[in-house]
Structure 1
Amino acid sequence: MKIDIMTLFPEMINAVMRESIIGRAQDKGVVEVKATNIRDYALDKHHKADDAPYGGGRGQVMLAEPLYLCHQALSAGEHVHTVFLSAQGQPFNQQKARELLAKEHFILVCGHYEGIDQRFIDECVDEEISIGDFVLTGGEIPAMAVADAVCRMVPGVLPDEEAFTAESHWDGLLEHPQYTRPENWRGREVPEVLLSGHHANIEAWKREMSLRRTKKDRPDLFAQFQPQDKRDKKILDKINSDER
C-alpha cells in the first residue's frame, strides 16, 4: 500500500505518520506514506503556491500549476486515484476506508487558505472527502486521519484481522465497552460475565452491549442495522422488551 500526500507542510505529516503503529509498519515496508511539498513544484524563485482569487474575496487560493506538476510527478503518467480533502466532500467512514484499501496506490491532496483552483480539481481529482461538517486550517489532519484509517487495515500492520474487524463501525455498530485491571476501581466493578471464562457468554454479552450502545449513542446507525443471525434477533427482542 502506497499513499502519497500532497501538502505545504510535509514535516507535519512525517511527524505523525512516522510514529507508533503506522511508523513501525513503514519501517517494515508494509505500507508507505510519503509527504511531498507542493512548493517544490512552484514556478518562481519564491516557491509561490497561492494567489488572490478572481472575483475578489478574502484569503488566497492555491495555484493550479504547482498542484498539477506535483501530481504529475507522483502519478508518473499513470492514473492514480486522487482524493481532495475538502469540507465540501462526501463524509468519510469505514466503508470508504475499505474502498481505498482496495487501491494499491492513491494520492491525498491537502488544501489550504480559501481552497484550491477548481481547474486542478476538475483535471486531476477523482473524489472529495470530508472528515466532518466543520472547517480546519488545512487538509493535513484529515489526510492523516484517512491514511491512518486505511493503513491499519493493511495485512501486517496490526497483529491480525480481528484487531480491526471487531471494532466500531466495521459491521455498522459501535464497539462494546472495554475493561482491564483492577477488577474493582473506585467502587466500580468489571461486569461479572467478563471474569467467568465462559467464551460463549462473553461473546453474547459483547454483542448485546454493542447493540445497546449503538441504539443509545448512534440511533442513526442502529436504524440501518440488519440482524445477522438468530442471536441478533434474540438480543434485539430483549432490548425492545426492556424498553417497554
Structure 2
Amino acid sequence: MKHTLYKHIQEGKTTGKKSFAVLVDPDKVNEATTEQLVSLALDAKVDYFFVGGSLVISHNLDECIRQIKVSCSVPVVIFPGSHSQISRYADAILYLSLISGRNPELLIGQHVISAPTIKKSGLEVMPTGYMVIDGGAPTTVSYISNTAPLPADKADIAMCTAMAGEMLGMKLIFMDAGSGAKNPVSIAMIEKVSSHIEVPLIVGGGITNPEKAYLNCRSGADIVVVGNAIEKDASLIRELSDAIHSVPVRV
C-alpha cells in the first residue's frame, strides 16, 4: 500500500511546515468554476485539494477529480461523507472514523462495506480520526451522522478523544467545526490537542479569513482546510495561502 502522500504530511509535521487544503464539494462546482478554482489554487501554491462532502448527490465526484488532476499536479484527497464517495482518480482517501460520535456505522460499519472497493482502487489510504466540534450552528455532518458534536469549550474531552484515536492507530486527527460554522475550532482546543498527539492535525470549519487560518497554524494545526468561505469568495485563496505559509518553519 502506498504511503507517499502521508509521508509528505508527516515531514511537514516534523519541520513545522504548515499546509493549506482547499475543500471542493462536487455538488457546488461545474466545469467552469472548477477550472477557475484550480487556476487560483495553483497561483496561490495550495498544497492539497480535498474533494467530497457530507451529502454528495450530483454523481459528479469522478468528473470533478478528473478535471483537477488533468489541470494540475496538486494532490487530490477524497474527504468522504459516505462509503459511496470513492474515486480511483484521486491520489488518496481520508479513511474517516467518527471518533467524536457514538454511531457504530461511522466508527466501523461503513468501512466494512467500502473496504473491498477501496482496496481495489489503488488509493493511498490514510486512517483518520474525525472529530466534529460544535461550531455554533447545526451542520449537515451532524445531521447525516446522527451524532452530537463535541462541546466547543471542552478542550479536555477533545484532547482525550484525539489521544484515543492516535492510540487506536489513526494516522491523522481531523477536527472539524463543519461547513458554514459560525465559530471555528477554538485556539485553546487546537493547542490542547496538538500538544498531546504526535500525528498530524487537520483543522477545518468556520475559517473565514487569513487571520483565523494563521492563528490555527500557530496553535498547532498542521493542515488548515477551507471550503465554504472560498465558495463565497474564491479570491480569498491567495490571502489564506499566504497566511498559512507565512508561519515560521522550524530549523
What's the TM-score bracket when you normalise by the shorter of the two chains? under 0.3
TM-score calculated relative to the size of structure 1: 0.28
Tell me the TM-score normalised to structure 2 length. 0.27
Greater RCO structure (CA 8 Å; 6+ sep) = 2
